[in-house]
Structure 1
Amino acid sequence: AGASPPSPASAALLFKDKKLNRLWEKAEKAGFSQEELKQLREEFQHHQQRLDEYYELVEEQQQAREQAEELSNEILESDEPAAKSLKANKSYSDYKSRINELHETVRQGYDRLHVASISGLAGRDFTEPKVDGLWQIALKADFNAEELDSLRVELKHFEERLKKLRHIQLEMLGADQRHGFDRDPPEKSEGRKVYDRKIRDQERHVEKLQLMLEDKILNRHTEL
């Protein structure tokens, strides 16, 4: 799982690996600066190099397997000592261990680039400090790439709620100041009561979302 073999049809694209090209398309639409895209492209290129190394090892392993099978057949036919066959099998086994290790590196690399393609290498994707703080914790937890994508959408929704609450609060403050009040007016008009209800409603939504997201993120983080 993770790595997908390079395809001749993708030769005209920026990377040989199809999944990398899909992630790169997402990064190009994410609104990064040219400098950020340059740094991100270097990370993608390093990952392509690791993929090239992975596929090269897989090919070498296949060759080692074929050599081991040929030697085994020769020994069975000639009754020669099995030392050469054992050596060939050991070489195949060594390849298998190295491939498994590199495959895990590739898998983790894909997850990291998936996050980077939407949040940048620094992982900064939110303007609200409270929301960005939760996102930074989530990036250090054990969420996979798909879970992070879903969580990012939820945090964006939470951030929009926070901004909407602040907008209504500023509108109400401006209205009070226009009427000469520095704090809650002693007698509230129907319009002022509407603002109060809007603010209470938004505050409930914000608090509910915040508790839900904190629970989801912090619980997963403390399980590390």
Structure 2
Amino acid sequence: MEHLKQILILYSILTLFLIEFSHSNKYSQTANTDINLENQDKPFRMKKTNLLWSKAQERLSSVKLAELYADLQVHDRQELHLKKMKGDNFDKDGQYEARVLASYRRIIEDFGLEDVFFGNEIPDHDQEKKSSQFQDPKLQSMWKRAEESGFTEKDLKMLREEFWHQQMRIQEYQFLHRQLNDFPDPEDNTVDLEQKKLGLSTEDVSNKKAAMKNTKKDIKDGYMKLEHLTATLSGSEPMFKDHRVLKLWALAKKTNWSEEEQNSFKEELKHFENRLSKEAFYKEQVELSSSENELKDRHQELKDKHEFMNRKVKKLHTDLKTRIDKALMHSEL
């Protein structure tokens, strides 16, 4: 039994070595084949990989196609492994999927295929990450809520990566959708001749539709994961509710204040939010006393208290905002 165990361990090590060896020799293997890459329509097993390959054939030189072919060979195996893992309900934390998505994005950027895959409306990836602006409105709305929820910088960094993975899924779906629109309607008999000219088939359309369906499911699962993550992490810091306090706290985290200074300011914001609650309470009481025809003296007393609280709140808000603005200016120097 012990001998069999040792054999299995050696076999596993050998298998891993062979995989790594095949990866390291991918370019030489491609160069030594007699395959005419420009005529290879669907050389890979995964639809997603073949789709990118088909678009690259229209743009890249023979040398670049050979390099891309080698990269996609490795990536195709990763996509196939990811599909198997999902089918077996593994990779529950999505870490392997994240690596595969990052690999796909790297290939697209390395070979200058961003405008083909992402479309001209998508800005530069580095520029996007700096501004944290997501193209999908729902995703951007979720990110804005996350930024205002009092997360630590560490949690925000982790969340940002998850949001970008979701953005890539959405862009993949949009890419597939655009490519599907390039195909004539298979039910329309008037386009048969055009289909033949382009070398298209109803199978191509079916494959793209199947890929879109799978990607759409991944997007739905991705949103559920983001909702779960933001809900799970929401207790990492005290959460403010008033939008004015949320904005002040978000700005405070952009300053170069020390942790002690930020914590002190956070306490001030808690007191500020309490005052805002009191001001809102008196405002409600004034409206109620007016509608219920209470005594004029009582109504006026509540009104005076509300006006006093309102002035105090406005002044405090201005003071806090001024301190933040000065700190931000100082941090930019």
Normalising by the smaller structure, the TM-score range is 0.3 to 0.5
TM-score (norm 1): 0.41
TM-score (norm 2): 0.28
